[in-house]
Structure 1
Amino acid sequence: MLLGSVKKLQVEDYLMVVAMFTDTVLMVGMSIISQTSSNLIDPSEHVILDAGEIRTREYGSKWVLVVEQMQIVTIWLMKYCLLLMYNRLTMSLSQNLAVKFVAAYVTAGFVIMEILYLGVWCRPFNQYWAVPPKNTQCSAATNHLITNAVINITSDIMIILIPMPIFLKSQLPLKRKAVLIGVFALGAFTILSAILNKFYSFNEPFGSNWTFWYIRESSTAIITANLPYIWTLLRRIFKLGSFSGSTYGKSTNNPSKAYRSNFTNHRSVVRSQVRAEHNLHQVDSEEEINATYALPLKIYAKHEIQITSEDAGPEDRRGPVGCIPDELMSHSKDSIRTDDVETNSERSAAGVVKVYHGV
């Protein structure tokens, strides 16, 4: 809607589409798990493992495996969406190094966790749905849950801490900060959900509480990751004010105000051509996280003029000694100055001045 064409979608948009699919499968799988037994058998239950019971538990165990993978993929896609957004917003800031470090940590953690889960903790792989399994790691998956909890929670904390220094130094009004605090609170709730789903997985492995917190974690993560992207859309629908203090649909004559938000439509900061082509509101397109210092961004161009001097020969002397000859030629082009709000650049063509002076 904002970009005007599917061809102009960014990487995050495609990741969100994939996350929609994985989260849908997660929801369906959770519904099946809640009504189907798995190979995690409660010792207090006297279960008769006949052929029908084994088939049912194998089916449920396979869905446990699918749900676990879909939950992991959904959560990690949301991490990458936030990191890609942070990478654009901190392109010229020191925090960009932290973004790259966290991205490397998230990627390495995902690879290590998947290798351990799919190839180490439970061997052979088909023991994940064997009834009964030969190894408790194939049913309770204790080692995997610990690994997942450590990598997932620590990376979430890192991600939520990246914008904190800029947020604390920002000069936004209290009401605007309250909105951002709400976004951070959603991120904190995602971390809380990750903690609680592992808590119930360890303490009530045969109960259903862990399934609820799995869903809450993935759903809250999706909402948190999408809020920065849909803020401009919400402003258009509900006529909300921007973080620079203006109302949607009104323009501003103060260019510095256009840079005081670290929240609205961060995409156009690095894609100014999209802003121009689709006539996005100036405040929407220019608000970014670099605005902590409330200074408009400008591009300055430096041009140098080279002047060469040559001694005049006898054929060039057509006037009295010491006088400037009529053939004195100065070739230069008029300088052009533009006071564009965004660039405020000065452009001048380089020229060459040839001076003849007699001996």
Structure 2
Amino acid sequence: MSIIEPEASIWYTCCVLVVFVRLISRRIHHGAWKNLQADDYIVMLGLMTDTVVYAVMHIVVRSSSNLIAPQDDASQFTAQEIASRVYGSKLVLVVEQMQIATTWLMKAALLLMYQRMTILLPQHLWVKVTVVYVALGFVVMEILYFGVWCRPFNQYWAVPPNSSQCNAATNHLITNAVFNISSDLMIIAIPLPLLWQVRIPRKNKFVLMGIFMIGLFTIAAAIMNKYYSFRNPFGTEWTIWYLRESFTAILCANLPLTYPLVQRVFKLRNWSAQSYGG
């Protein structure tokens, strides 16, 4: 069994179920599938990109890449081993980009939800500021990744590469951590005042607080995957933390919008439209 199993499959199954429940809940809330909103389609796309991360990571943990251990002599590699490392390096690139896509799509979905929830509230300005920061962070990070850190681009899978930025990718990992973690903190700060301003039962507020605490775990996972990437770049500990980050990001973005179906199944008390997020 893969070192990321069975945990990865459990997380992935939970994410698929939560997204499925969210979409049915949105159908109930809006009355028709055609009335789904932009963030609903964004989370579907995010689930697709995360499916790629989940599937490809199973291959990555069993593959070698152009990140060559100090005790290995690249000049002694056979043609077959070089080809295998080239293939593994390309898969690492795919995982990294699909991971970025998943996390940033979930940020976008959350911000669209908060945009509706805060339309008449002072927090709406903070939502706009966060949107600009999230978009700017994504653009800057991708420009640096594709056009600056590793040149020419095919050095990302060269064996051996001409720079450590093409295999260890230290500059990219730092840039990603800065924009990813800081934007997550900005997003998490948005709903905190709403928990005390929206008139819903206290027990429901605690439920919401629990859901958004998942966002803190997402940040912790982002920190841990970078920690292991730096501390033990030749190990595989970072792989499960990459998955945990993307999976918890999906849960955080979708759990708040699953209530209509949960309410119908368990006959729970109705929440206000404002608390649901439109």
Same fold (TM over 0.5): yes
Unaligned runs of 5+ in 2: 1-26
Q: TM-score, normalised by structure 2?
A: 0.86
Unaligned runs of 5+ in 1: 244-257, 268-359
Q: Bigger CA drift: 221-230 or 139-148?
A: 221-230
Q: Is the 8 A contact 2:198 2:275 kept in 1?
A: no
What is the CA distance between 1:169 and its match in structure 2?
Answer: 4.4
Match of 2:225 in 1: 197
Give distance in 2, aligned partners of 1:137 and 1:168. 46
Could you say what secondary structure the match of 1:109 adopts? helix
Q: For the aligned residues, what is the CA RMSD?
A: 1.5
Give distance in 2, aligned partners of 1:56 and 1:219. 29
Match of 1:126 in 2: 154
Give distance in 1, aligned partners of 2:225 and 2:138. 19
1:205-262 deviation per Cα after TM superposition (whole angstroms, max 9, x unaligned):
111111101000000110110012211111112222334xxxxxxxxxxxxxx57xx5
Match of 1:19 in 2: 46
Taking the TM superposition and a 5 Å limit, the aligned residue runs for 1:306-317 are none
- Aligned length, in residue pairs: 250
Greater radius of gyration (CA): 1
Q: Is the 8 A contact 1:15 1:77 kept in 2?
A: yes
Match of 1:263 in 2: 275
Could you say what secondary structure the match of 2:275 adopts? coil
1:180-217 deviation per Cα after TM superposition (whole angstroms, max 9, x unaligned):
12012101101110111111111011111111010000
Q: TM-score, normalised by structure 1?
A: 0.67
Within the candidate set 61, 72, 82, 1:34 is matched to 61
Amino acid at match of 1:40: L
Match of 2:124 in 1: 96
Give distance in 2, aligned partners of 1:177 and 1:8. 28
Q: Does 1:229 align with 2:257?
A: yes
Q: Is the 8 A contact 1:228 1:263 kept in 2?
A: no
Match of 2:215 in 1: 187
What is the CA distance between 1:170 and its match in structure 2?
Answer: 4.9
Give distance in 2, aligned partners of 1:164 and 1:6. 31
Match of 1:114 in 2: 142
Give distance in 2, aligned partners of 1:169 and 1:263. 10
Within the candidate set 183, 190, 194, 1:155 is matched to 183
Residue identity over aligned pairs, in percent, reads 56
Match of 1:9 in 2: 36
Give distance in 2, aligned partners of 1:171 and 1:85. 18
Amino acid at match of 1:10: Q
Give distance in 2, aligned partners of 1:25 and 1:88. 30
Taking the TM superposition and a 5 Å limit, the aligned residue runs for 1:226-305 are 226-243=254-271, 258=272, 263-264=275-276, 266-267=277-278
Instruction: Tell me which protein shows more helix as a share of its residues.
Output: 2
Amino acid at match of 1:36: S
Give distance in 2, aligned partners of 1:173 and 1:21. 35
1:132-158 deviation per Cα after TM superposition (whole angstroms, max 9, x unaligned):
001010000000000000000000000
Give distance in 2, aligned partners of 1:227 and 1:166. 17
Match of 1:44 in 2: 71
Structure with higher RCO (Cα < 8 A, 6+ apart): 2
Amino acid at match of 1:58: V
Give distance in 2, aligned partners of 1:170 and 1:8. 25
